[in-house]
Amino acid sequence: MPYDTQPAASHFIDGAYVEDRDGTPIDVIYPATGKVIARVHAATPAIVERAIASAKRAQSDWAALSGTERGRILRRAADLMRARNHDLSVLETYDTGKPYQETSVADATSGADALEYFGGLAATLTGEHIQLGENWVYTRREPLGVCVGIGAWNYPTQIACWKGAPALACGNAVIFKPSETTPLCALKVAEMLVEAGLPAGLFNVVQGMGEVGNALVTDSRVDKVSLTGSVPTGRKVYAAAAEGIKHVTMELGGKSPLIVFEDADIENAVGGAILGNFYSSGQVCSNGTRVFVHRAIKEAFLARLTERLGNAVIGDPMDPAVSFGPMVSQRQRDIVLDYIAKGQEEGARLVTGGKAVDREGFYLEPTVFADVTDDMKIAREEIFGPVMAVLDFEDEDEVMARANDTEFGLAAGVFTRDLARAHRVAARFEAGTCYINTYNDAPVEAPFGGAKSSGVGRENSKAAIEHYSQLKSVFVRMDDVDAPF
Ligand code: NDP
């Protein structure tokens, strides 16, 4: 293998790689071949203890620095990430199977954006002064303390940075647990932060499955938990965090609607639907997987969609010409194949795809179902794979009610040339992140997060600061104290 995928050790704690072979071994599998490319060990209780103790120890000195000093380190880390984008993108491809064509523009680059943005914001964090006659109150914006980040497997570098950058900017210490499926990338983020000057103990990475995450979430020294994962995991982690009255951010799953009206630019709508269903082989939380297409243009939409999907280049994800890679794991592909079988049993029309690709690795064809109805399983449950469900509609009120008839509320999109309708529809969507004539943009400057069961809190933008800091009010009396006795 031209690239060494085996990390120096499983964990990164207190500024250095740490190993403990007593932990359960986790084989890292390259999704394009199914072969083992590295092995790490799940954190033992001793490793979890070291991570929490080092974060706790380091946090107060970090918080005592000025925002400018903290921000400078984050911005230096952003520069390092950009300079190493190629190597980091190759590693992201090994970890997830996503094509290099994607990882080279969407992962380390997005992580670097977060480090740069929150690095810049760090120096601007202030409290406020509230005058009360001659007396006054001032607020201090203070860190929460030790923040635990738990990641999903689809964006391991980005998720580590989206959680780490705002937390560190606010003066917190971080312990990050990647998904056991993709344990490699977060270690590189930790390495780079230390190289950029981050003091030891402030960004730790521990490996493991759900029980390691649970050990972190339930420790009394942990003040905040930020999870990116599925709704069922979110319920468990939220409940465990609630026991300790901890702060939470929950970035969970979705089954987002994408509405294409009869006046939409079909080429753009098809492009949006492709971005919202097949990027990262469909393994994106905000995907618009319920595509409601107006009956008048449905067949034209499907014809053009099928034609453009035929241009997908499926193959070795390291080849820069390849635009569609494997799914992250055998398990995930099997889950998606089960949904495809269910869609056929329930009577949806398979327009294209539907099968595993006949080659090594966990490849699955881009799949489109038409004539899908609201009650079908493939229209109700998050599949998390390259499966688009196309549903028909005729009327705006009808489609709005159907689009919102779901427990999820992560994202929603609309394609139309009617400006008033676009904004009316966006206002009526029950979702945290909406798109008009586009889909799945996620720049660091804008808040990202879900409504309803899709989550609590927001990542990115100035809004994230609220979720990694707390306000202290300090009352100051200038005149005498007036007590009743
Ligand atoms: P999971 O919910 O299975 O796992 C998420 C993380 O939580 C993993 O690191 C997992 O560890 C850990 N975990 C599992 N159980 C517990 C527990 N009891 N306590 C603490 N931690 C636990 O999600 P996937 O990794 O399968 O990712 C796919 C899901 O993530 C989809 O639903 C997708 O929509 C969502 N997602 C949401 C995003 C958003 O921003 N809203 C973005 C990306 C994905 P392990 O798996 O190693 O056992």
Q: At what angle do helices 67-83 and 185-195 cross, to 10 degrees?
A: 130
Q: Of all protein residues, whose CA lies closest to atom 1 belonging to ligand 1?
A: 229
Q: Is 163 a catalytic residue?
A: yes
Phi, psi dihedral angles at 459 (to 5 degrees): -105, 165
Buried b (16+ CB within 10 A) or exposed e, 379-411: beebbbbbbbbbbebeebeebbebbbebebbbb
Which atom of ligand 1 lies at the shortest distance from residue 240's CA? 19
Which atom of ligand 1 lies at the shortest distance from residue 177's CA? 9
Residues 164, 170: Cα–Cα separation, whole Å: 10
Given a contact cutoff of 8 angstroms between Cβ atoms, the answer to whether 370 and 420 are in contact is: no
Res. 3 pLDDT band, cuts 50 70 90: confident
Listed in sequence order, the DSSP H helices in 279-366 are: 298-309, 330-345
Residues 282, 20: Cα–Cα separation, whole Å: 35
Please give the torsion angle defined by the CA atoms of residues 377, 382, 384 and 387, in that order, rounded to the nearest 10 degrees. 40
The answer, yes or no, to whether residue 2 has pLDDT greater than 70, is: no
Q: What local confidence, expressed as pLDDT, does residue 1 receive?
A: 52
Q: Among 228, 250, 336, which is best to mutate for testing ligand 1, by the most ligand atoms less than 8 A from CB?
A: 228
Beta bridge partners of 110: none
The answer, yes or no, to whether residue 173 has pLDDT greater than 90, is: yes
Given a contact cutoff of 8 angstroms between Cβ atoms, the answer to whether 222 and 244 are in contact is: yes
The answer, yes or no, to whether residue 428 has pLDDT greater than 90, is: yes
The DSSP secondary-structure symbol of 452 reads G
Nearest one of 78, 84, 93 to 444, comparing CA atoms: 78
Beta bridge partners of 30: 35
Given a contact cutoff of 8 angstroms between Cβ atoms, the answer to whether 228 and 151 are in contact is: yes
Q: Is 170 a catalytic residue?
A: no
The answer, yes or no, to whether residue 113 has pLDDT greater than 90, is: yes
pLDDT tens by residue, 431-440: 999 999 999 9
Kindly report the average pLDDT of the chain as a whole number: 98
Given a contact cutoff of 8 angstroms between Cβ atoms, the answer to whether 414 and 426 are in contact is: yes
Which string of DSSP letters, residue by residue, matches 30-62? ETTTTEEEEEEEPPPHHHHHHHHHHHHHHHHHH
As for ligand 1, residues whose beta carbon falls within 6 Å of it are 150-154, 177, 179-180, 209-210, 213-214, 217, 227-230, 233, 236-237, 251-254, 285, 382, 384, 410, 450, 455
pTM: 0.97
Q: Please name the residues in contact with 143: beta carbons below 8 A apart, sequence gap of 6 or more.
A: 59, 63, 170, 171, 172, 468, 469, 470
pLDDT tens by residue, 288-343: 999 999 999 999 999 999 999 999 999 999 999 999 999 999 999 999 999 999 99
Q: Give residue 103 CA to ligand 1 midpoint distance, Å.
A: 20
pLDDT tens by residue, 47-75: 999 999 999 999 999 999 999 999 999 99
Q: Is 185 a catalytic residue?
A: no
